[in-house]
A and B are shown apart, each in its own frame.
Chain A
Amino acid sequence: MRIAKITATTVTTAALALGLAACGSGEAPSSSPSAAASASGPKFAGKTLSVWRLGDSNPAAAKYMEELNAEFKQQTGAEVKLEWIPWPQVADKFAAAATGSGPDVTEIGNDQVPMWQSQDALTPITDIAREGDRAQIPENLYGYETVDGEIYAVPWGAGARAVLYRKDWFEDLKIEVPKTWDELVAAAKKIQKEKGEGVDGFAFNGGSDANHLLAAFAWSEGGEFAVKEGDKWVGKLTEPGFTKGFETYTGLVTSGLSGKANLTLNTVDIRKRFANNKVAMYLTAGWDLPGIEEDSKGKLKSDKLAFFPLPAKTGGVAPSFFGGNDIALWGGTKEADLGKEYIKLATSKTWADRYASEGGLLPVYPDTLAKLEEDPAQGAFAQAFAKARAFPADPNWSEADATKMVLQNAARAVIEGKKDAGTALADANKELEEILNQ
């Protein structure tokens, strides 16, 4: 008796659901003929576009994507299936997507473009990359994205890094915001003295994205990773400028500013320690703030945190890694035209500017960027971005940078006293050349 009742209810519910679904899908086609008549009609009604965003979803980013996708649906009639890929999983998810089924459109780190292009994972979008609003994006932002004359991604937001610090601690201990490297070291030591030994004054990054920090030191001394001479990469790690920067980098640990126990931490790991009151300063960007608020259970909000540009040991602001996120069309997509429409909308001036300002990045449109120089929150990044530099633009750079971790291992050998800086860098230089020239 009861079973019959349950069955009946289930069947009715299912029938209702089906009916509603039928109504839902019936609506689109019925409106599409009339819309096709008008030029801007939903040409792609009923289709679904799969989009990947990188990082953890936070309320601001989720709201932005919701509005962007609603606008996209209004323009094209197509639905968007959005998926968030946490940063540490990006390489594995991309690898799986490159061999099986992937997204249609994905966000991608700009320095990752050459590597995934070399794996045939991206579709060229040269025809749309420089048209419309995008003609205003400076040519030099397309460095990583252009391979053999074809453009594989459009810059979406730029990232420069600055020092994130505990404003509340600085105020408690009456420390001025450091303008020089020596002031930064003094501030870090003072905080360590007052806040206990487990606290890192300025966190050492030795993990997968360590080269952002090392590069800032090395570039500020005039050093370079490698330079292309003819068609071969020549390593420059043993030159005096790079060596000095490398010594500042390893000095973070050997002089005690950062704990010996944390030699393999990347920015995500450091962010968690920062949220747990274990770090006073580290080099990062605005996209870390939502995660810190979440990890600290709401205790560390923007009123207790602030950024300042990393001072160079040689004076002035240290050059920052020219990072940023692009949006690209995936290699295995079956919805290339629809995907291109999405990229066009997302990188239009309105939406790209909102992407940057709401996601903690710098806008890629120059006039919007110019307005930020005086902005108190974004000024540190805008100043750093003016001096931004890039890593060697080669598909094999990722291997040296994040897989073989050539320089991270050289730094560890020096910190643990197994090699002196000269030997470690000479070995690293040889390996870097081998990897880049393979």
Chain B
Amino acid sequence: MANPTTVARGGGSSPSPGHRRRKESGRARASGLPAWSIPYVLLVPGLLVIAGLLLYPMFQLAVMAFQKVGLAQIRGTRPAEWVGLENFEKILSNDIFWSALRNTVAFAFVAVSLTLIVGTAVGVLLHRLGRKMSLFVVIGCMFAWAVPPVAQGVIWRSLFDAEAGIVNWALDLLPNWLAAPPDGARSWVGTPWLTDTLPLYIALVFCVVWAGFPFIAVSVLAGLKGIPAELYEAARVDGSGPWRTFTKITLPMLKPVFAVLTVLSIIWDFKVFSQLYTLMNGHTNREGYNLSMYAVAEAFKPPQKLGMGAAISVVLTIILLVITVVYVRQIVKQEEM
């Protein structure tokens, strides 16, 4: 926000007054606004859209979290009752919340790590491959990424099906010392994957990592293209091996890319809903809930308790904000050092 008037006045080699006046009047004619306001004015349309589509609903959500809201309150036939912290107290004293929180955090940790590792590996591979092969692999990956979440769930649900699923069939083909059927059963066929919490989340990790790594891979590829080839040449001349080159050159150079990708992945994987809902066939299995699933079940399944659902979403948002802020601060600090 440099004030042109001050700059002009303070400058020793100031242009003639006439020149200055002409410049100012010219600017006033063009916009009719003081110069300092122009960036803000330009932001207004975007802010309005964000306010309408994001800030207002978020404000509503925060208000609802402290109210008892059912269908009658939405329709307006009964006033919403202000209940203070009651929604939060109910949630925090409920076992489902704690198992959902555990599932959410553990899943996000595993899924984010795996997505980043697999994505980076594929990104490096793409960088090494020839033009045609690279294009072929990118297109293949993009197909996985382009599949809508519910369809991802349906695909993996059929793959993990107990009787007709390809996963159990493949496990049966493996020799027994590698993958013995559980509990002394004769074969893997009939082993349920999608009812108990741990196998369910293993399936979910496969599903989410499969659909999530292509974005990481392509972003890493873009980052790699930006690293000057001289660095690698110098490393080779100095006798550095592939692993050493990767850890000493590629990783540090890609740090900003990874920072963004990690934050994005954390946010995405905390909020996974459609895939889980499809994989576990509705909301029957309460132990398998994550926080999004719990919020939806409370808010939208009869009797609708939208206040409770809003409170769970607020808790989820706060957790995400804390994690993101801590992570971003750490990155900023490291860069300052």
List the one stretch of A61-69, A79-87, A374-382, A402-410 in contact with chain B: A402-410
Query: Complex formed: what's the CA distance from A91 to B296 in Å?
Result: 14
Q: Are A403 and B302 in contact (CB under 8 A)?
A: yes
Contact partners of B162 in chain A: CB under 8 A:
259-262
Within 8 A of B (CB), among A382-402: 395-396, 398-399, 402
Q: Are A99 and B191 in contact (CB under 8 A)?
A: no
B126 on the A face (CB < 8 A): no
B300 on the A face (CB < 8 A): yes
B301 on the A face (CB < 8 A): yes
Residues 95-106 of chain B, each 1 if its beta carbon lies under 8 Å from chain A, else 0: 000000000000
Q: Are A98 and B195 in contact (CB under 8 A)?
A: no
B333 on the A face (CB < 8 A): no
Q: Which of A259, A264, A398, A402 contacts B285 (CB 8 A)?
A: A264
B71 on the A face (CB < 8 A): yes
A27 on the B face (CB < 8 A): no
Knowing A121-B71, A416-B196, the reply to whether A396 touches B190 (Cβ < 8 A) is no
Knowing A119-B70, A259-B190, the reply to whether A207 touches B284 (Cβ < 8 A) is yes
CB distance from A376 to the nearest CB of B (A): 35
A131 on the B face (CB < 8 A): no
Closest B residue to A403 by beta carbon equals B301
Q: Which of B74, B192, B284, B303 contacts A395 (CB 8 A)?
A: B303
Q: Are A263 and B304 in contact (CB under 8 A)?
A: no
A206 on the B face (CB < 8 A): yes
Q: Are B284 and A208 in contact (CB under 8 A)?
A: yes
A92 on the B face (CB < 8 A): yes
Query: Complex formed: what's the CA distance from A296 to B286 in Å?
Result: 32
Closest A residue to B168 by beta carbon equals A261
Q: Are A261 and B163 in contact (CB under 8 A)?
A: yes
Closest A residue to B183 by beta carbon equals A260
Residues 255-296 of chain B, each 1 if its beta carbon lies under 8 Å from chain A, else 0: 000000000000000000000000011111111000000000
CB distance from A319 to the nearest CB of B (A): 25
| Chain B contact patch, size range | 20 to 34
Contact partners of B75 in chain A: CB under 8 A:
98-100, 120, 332
Q: Which of B191, B282, B283, B286 contacts A261 (CB 8 A)?
A: B191
Query: Complex formed: what's the CA distance from A282 to B287 in Å?
Result: 26
Residues 252-263 of chain A, each 1 if its beta carbon lies under 8 Å from chain B, else 0: 000000011111
B72 on the A face (CB < 8 A): yes
Q: Are A119 and B72 in contact (CB under 8 A)?
A: yes
Q: Which of B78, B285, B300, B303 contacts A92 (CB 8 A)?
A: B300
Contact partners of A402 in chain B: CB under 8 A:
301-302
CB distance from A321 to the nearest CB of B (A): 19
Contact partners of B6 in chain A: CB under 8 A:
none
CB distance from A234 to the nearest CB of B (A): 21
Knowing A99-B74, A198-B190, the reply to whether A91 touches B284 (Cβ < 8 A) is no
Q: Are B285 and A95 in contact (CB under 8 A)?
A: no
A94 on the B face (CB < 8 A): yes
B112 on the A face (CB < 8 A): no
Q: Are B286 and A405 in contact (CB under 8 A)?
A: yes
CB distance from A269 to the nearest CB of B (A): 7
CB distance from B120 to the nearest CB of A (A): 36
A295 on the B face (CB < 8 A): no
Residues 187-199 of chain B, each 1 if its beta carbon lies under 8 Å from chain A, else 0: 0011110111000
CB distance from B96 to the nearest CB of A (A): 9
A426 on the B face (CB < 8 A): no
B297 on the A face (CB < 8 A): yes
Contact partners of A263 in chain B: CB under 8 A:
192, 195, 285
A118 on the B face (CB < 8 A): yes
Closest B residue to A207 by beta carbon equals B284
Closest B residue to A94 by beta carbon equals B302
CB distance from B160 to the nearest CB of A (A): 10
Contact partners of A92 in chain B: CB under 8 A:
300
Q: Are B282 and A264 in contact (CB under 8 A)?
A: yes
Q: Are B302 and A99 in contact (CB under 8 A)?
A: no
Knowing A259-B162, A269-B281, A412-B195, the reply to whether A120 touches B286 (Cβ < 8 A) is no
B77 on the A face (CB < 8 A): yes
Query: Complex formed: what's the CA distance from A304 to B281 in Å?
Result: 30
Within 8 A of A (CB), among B66-110: 70-72, 74-75, 77-78
Q: Which of A94, A403, A416 contacts B297 (CB 8 A)?
A: A403
Closest B residue to A416 by beta carbon equals B196
Q: Are A409 and B303 in contact (CB under 8 A)?
A: no
CB distance from B255 to the nearest CB of A (A): 44
Knowing A119-B71, A120-B75, the reply to whether A404 touches B302 (Cβ < 8 A) is no
Query: Complex formed: what's the CA distance from A120 to B79 in Å?
Result: 13
Query: Complex formed: what's the CA distance from A402 to B304 in Å?
Result: 12
A115 on the B face (CB < 8 A): yes
Residues 99-119 of chain A, each 1 if its beta carbon lies under 8 Å from chain B, else 0: 110000000000000011011
CB distance from B183 to the nearest CB of A (A): 10
A247 on the B face (CB < 8 A): no
Contact partners of A94 in chain B: CB under 8 A:
302
Closest A residue to B280 by beta carbon equals A264
Query: Complex formed: what's the CA distance from A118 to B70 in Å?
Result: 10
CB distance from A143 to the nearest CB of B (A): 20
Q: Are A206 and B190 in contact (CB under 8 A)?
A: no
Residue picked from B70, B71, B191, B194, most chain A C-beta under 10 Å = B71
Contact partners of A408 in chain B: CB under 8 A:
284
Knowing A91-B301, A95-B300, A95-B302, the reply to whether A405 touches B74 (Cβ < 8 A) is no
A197 on the B face (CB < 8 A): yes
CB distance from B295 to the nearest CB of A (A): 13
Q: Which of A95, A259, A416 contacts B71 (CB 8 A)?
A: A95
Query: Interface on B for A, CB 8 Å cutoff?
Result: 70-72, 74-75, 77-78, 161-163, 189-192, 194-196, 280-287, 297, 300-304
30 A-B pairs with CB atoms under 8 Å apart are A95-B71, A98-B71, A98-B72, A100-B75, A115-B303, A119-B72, A119-B303, A120-B71, A120-B75, A197-B190, A206-B284, A207-B282, A207-B284, A261-B192, A263-B192, A263-B195, A264-B280, A264-B281, A264-B285, A269-B281, A395-B303, A396-B303, A398-B303, A402-B301, A402-B302, A403-B302, A404-B286, A405-B286, A412-B287, A416-B196
Q: A119-B302, A332-B75 are in contact. List 10 more A-B contacts (CB 8 A).
A: A118-B303, A119-B303, A120-B75, A198-B190, A259-B163, A260-B195, A261-B192, A262-B192, A263-B285, A409-B286
Counting from the closest, the 9 A-B pairs by CB-CB distance are A261-B162, A261-B192, A403-B301, A264-B284, A98-B71, A99-B74, A119-B71, A263-B195, A120-B72
